[in-house]
Amino acid sequence: MPLPHWTMEGVLPPGRLHADLADIYERLVFDAPHQNEREILFSALNSYLGAVARIIPAGRAWVGGAFIVRTERVPVGLDVVLMPDDWGSLKRMTGPVRDSLYGLLTLRGVIIGQPAMYLDQVQPVGGLLDGFLCFPGDEETWFNTWSVSGTRGFPEVVW
């Protein structure tokens, strides 16, 4: 089912809106200003979700940020919150698989060695998006954040 049309305020109607990538492209890229910039963000989202699906066997992703708003301002990024279906599989991850998962998440206040440096924030996909992990029990907090306390909708992609 395609994403609903924009409201007069330039947002999606309230709620969690089930969508696939074709639906997201149609509404958030094709039917919005600044298509070139949105095309780049969509490509980042597509690549990101493909990488996520290789590490997390099944789950949902909520898409938010400036990308899901229809305004004359150029969107410079998007946000994704991941909700794995099986938390046990994430807890059992070790080594390179766990490292790959961390590489898909936005990290704040990171210290790296050799050479030692401090970074305020590390973002996946070259900084085009922020990726977050929703821990069990935090869904309502994320829902209220993504929906701006119920005033707008956001896409949900299931894999």
In sequence order, the 6+-apart residues with CB closer than 8 A to the CB of 149 are none
Average pLDDT over the chain reads 93
- 72-82, pLDDT tens digit by residue? 999 999 999 99
- 41-69, pLDDT tens digit by residue? 999 999 999 999 999 999 999 999 999 99
Query: What are the structural domain ranges in the chain?
Result: 16-131
- 114-151, pLDDT tens digit by residue? 777 766 777 888 889 999 999 999 999 999 999 998 99
